[in-house]
């Protein structure tokens, strides 16, 4: 059987899957002080506005807020780490639909509170954990 690849959500598609109520987790560990596989993101979405709360791993509490246009998210994030430091940054993400119907976010992020940038992948959990 050929391997199926994720497909992009068509821009401004009326039937595009909403993020509201979906829970995501990173696929791999990031650098220390950043999110990792134990971090959970609880997303919300209404009328092109997206926001999420997140926590787990080295993140005590985090929040993100931004906008969605079709398959593109653009948001800012802020977090409190277990070592007591805070950090903030910006991120753009592409929303993809996996063959099983779950969503994947391909993220490009950059810290605004210090040096660092990179990419990451978060995927919707099959069941909210």
Domain ranges within the chain, ordered by starting residue: 17-124
Cα 83 to chain center, whole Å? 22
pLDDT score of 10: 45
User: What would be the CATH architecture of the domain defined by 17-124?
Assistant: Beta Barrel (2.40)
61-104 residue pLDDT tens: 999 999 999 999 999 999 999 999 999 999 999 999 999 999 99
Question: What is the value of pTM for the model shown?
Answer: 0.84
- Residue 83 · residue 66 · CB < 8 Å: no
């Amino acid at each position: 059987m050929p391997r199926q690849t994720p497909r992009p959500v068509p821009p401004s598609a009326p039937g595009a899957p909403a993020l509201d109520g979906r829970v995501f987790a990173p696929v791999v560990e990031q650098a220390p002080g950043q999110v990792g596989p134990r971090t959970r993101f609880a997303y919300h979405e209404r009328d092109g506005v997206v926001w999420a709360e997140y926590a787990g791993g080295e993140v005590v509490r985090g929040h993100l807020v931004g906008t969605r246009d079709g398959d593109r998210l653009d948001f800012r994030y802020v977090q409190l780490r277990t070592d007591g430091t805070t950090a903030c940054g910006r991120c753009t993400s592409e929303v993809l639909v996996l063959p099983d119907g779950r969503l994947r976010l391909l993220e490009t992020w950059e810290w605004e509170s210090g040096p660092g940038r990179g990419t990451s992948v978060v995927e919707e959990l099959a069941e909210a954990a």
